[in-house]
Chain A
């Protein structure tokens, strides 16, 4: 079976510095996968490589069989892969609604997500739609960041540290939305520092350490000790 997203022997570099070594990774339609690892393990670099912010060999990354490893970020999102970047990175000059609309800039993929369905999922955003994003709470900003990515109607949604800096109750609210995104067949990759949180909501996980995959499997099958040692390298 061809997975929705296929990563084969991915090496990633920042100049001379090699951040990832021979990563193999796959994601199926409607599947949720966690990528865990310590600071500097290469989690964000992996997401950036997938989204086209870090370039690679063409066939290192395949989306629905199509090589995108060397494609530009702007064309990858049109092909159906969207990133919710770490720290939310909303556009401060744009209102809440404009931030959502700009997510649909590519304009080629139009269902199921549009303004109406994003507002149905996050009703508070409809109330604040004319506000500047700088006036929103952290949780509301994260909703905008997720909504903005959904507006491109991705078949693969990458979420980088979506719980960062948020109160636990808000984090739960946001994670509760993941099944609604998956039910449309969208595959989700979640990168988290909070291992327990990530493993509770995903089908499989990959643990990265110093740029290499050290452990992969189903959360239920992996022992605490195995994860601990894959995470810290002890």
Chain B
């Protein structure tokens, strides 16, 4: 794993960097919202997996596979959050929980989506990201 983000995210980060403007970047993010490798379907959304402090509806479930590697499943009604979570799932799935704990959301900034990281924004991606890291910490201890 690179010091900033897993190397398998490099192409995605580059793809976003190459966008002409922010609207093209968001359009690309909307496309990634449809490409979540492990979606959490609306039927599985409940209070236990809901992200608090997020005005849109957002849910995450974190677990380990048979080999003890991390699996992130996420769902949100806002496409921007959903797109960011799809990319985060691509980043973390297959890593060890210990590796996930070291991840920071700097890749989102590098993708030119810094505004999505403001804790004051109501879109809630940062709350979701922090929840993933907190769950990774728990999974690394079990």
Say whether A associates with B. no
